[in-house]
Amino acid sequence: MPIITNIEDLRVLAQQRVPRMFYDYADSGSWTESTYRANEADFQPIKFRQRVAISMDNRSTRSTMIGQDVAMPVALAPVGLTGMQHADGEILAARAAKAFGVPFTLSTMSICSIEDVAAGTGNHPFWFQVYVIRDRGFIERLIERARAANCSALVLTLDLQIIGQRHKDLKNGLSAPPKLTLPNIINMMSKPRWGIGMLGTRRRGFGNIVGHVGGVEDMGSLSEWSSKQFDPTLNWNDVEWIKKRWGGKLILKGIQDPEDARLAVNAGADALIVSNHGGRQLDGAESSIRALPRIVEAVGKDIEIHMDGGVRSGQDVLKARALGARGVYIGRAFIYGLGAMGEAGVSKALEIIHKELDLTMAFCGRTDINTVDQSILLPGTYSPN
């Protein structure tokens, strides 16, 4: 086993162990992938102010996200097909998040169902992500299932009314279960750890959908149903309808523009996520970390602001926090850990990010994450507007 010291080590190991179509699904963007790359790269020019001769004792990264206590201001992002990165992946990731003390967000397009994750974590509260789709009855049933599963927040994704073109997914013939083309069979045969795990689980389809929608009883009928269900007519009235149906904490994901941020406030959301869907939708959109300060300036006093996109280290978390994000979501970082080492890999990813966050905060002269602001950053290396 190689020595794992950073998220990149987990990525390399995941690439070795996960079939190509599922690794590429997680580690790719749309079209030229320029936004996917910018999400990560745009953290790099932001520099810290190093401070010395300040006590670094008794440090704490504890904070809150939408009023929930968290061990650090990090949540696991909703990622579709997580259970294809590793057998029972959503359950394992949720267990790791529970043990560490950070929120786990389950995607509607998960392999393990809401009920699977609830049972696998002892009914521990987690967050659930939904889309606006044409079948409003299905949304209503999903919301009721989330409520029954003790979900403590609903995350509504707003930037997937239509799907951006992702070249690698098209070339790989991405599906769950995998399409058994000759190249895919050969590639899967080269990943024995993954294959053994998949043979040992019954969870290989979209657990939140198959069997819960009329006429959708297998993967073939699911493909036809899902291709027609994402609703291009999504508008703010739909957001208000979902908030009313849910009645609990609502987080809106996919905000990149200050005008949309103000509309999110008007819709009554409890938080918004500055996000470009990991660079998987509008290629050429601004990176999340560059968009963050303008949205904080526009609505930071009116709504709790979170962000995702390109977070690969605890230093990235600290930079986002300094620029006004109350919390940060990691997607690929925990997916790499899951693909590399299962539940232990997700725990390792969280440990790595926490250690980097803790040490960097100390070097910047702070011992409490709740005192971090722009003053820990070197002026001129970030743009406040």
Alpha helices per DSSP H over the chain:
7-17, 20-26, 34-41, 89-100, 114-120, 136-148, 167-172, 182-189, 192-199, 219-227, 236-246, 258-266, 288-299, 314-322, 332-341, 343-363
Answer left, alpha or beta for residue 23, where phi above 0 means left and psi between -120 and 50 means alpha: alpha
**Any binding-site annotation on 247?**
no
Q: Which residues, other chains included, contact 200 with Cβ-Cβ below 8 Å and sequence gap of 6+?
A: 87
* Cβ neighbours, 10 Å, residue 215: 8
Upper half-sphere CA count for residue 79 (Cβ side, 13 Å):
34
Do the beta carbons of residue 76 and residue 103 sit within 8 Å? yes
**Any binding-site annotation on 165?**
no
**Any binding-site annotation on 131?**
yes
**Any binding-site annotation on 253?**
yes
**Any binding-site annotation on 203?**
no
DSSP 98-114: HHHT--BEE-TT-SS-H
**Any binding-site annotation on 78?**
yes
Answer left, alpha or beta for residue 367, where phi above 0 means left and psi between -120 and 50 means alpha: alpha
Residue recorded with tokens 């929930």: 68
**Any binding-site annotation on 129?**
yes
**Any binding-site annotation on 308?**
yes
**Any binding-site annotation on 73?**
no
Q: Which residues, other chains included, contact 228 with Cβ-Cβ below 8 Å and sequence gap of 6+?
A: 134
Do the beta carbons of residue 236 and residue 262 sit within 8 Å? no
**Any binding-site annotation on 332?**
yes
**Any binding-site annotation on 342?**
no
**Any binding-site annotation on 157?**
yes
**Any binding-site annotation on 347?**
no
Show the tokens assigned to 211.
């069997």
Active site members = 277
SS3 per residue for 62-87: CEEECCEEECCCEEECCCCCHHHCCC
Do the beta carbons of residue 270 and residue 237 sit within 8 Å? no
Q: How far is CA 107 from the centre of its chain?
A: 9
**Any binding-site annotation on 311?**
yes
**Considering only CA atoms, which of 236, 356, 252 is closest in space to residue 307?**
252
- Binding-site residues, in ranges, read 25, 78-80, 107, 129, 131, 157, 166, 253, 275, 277, 280, 308-312, 331-332
Binding residues for FMN: 78-80, 107, 129, 157, 253, 275, 308-312, 331-332
> Known binding site for glyoxylate: residues?
25, 131, 166, 277, 280
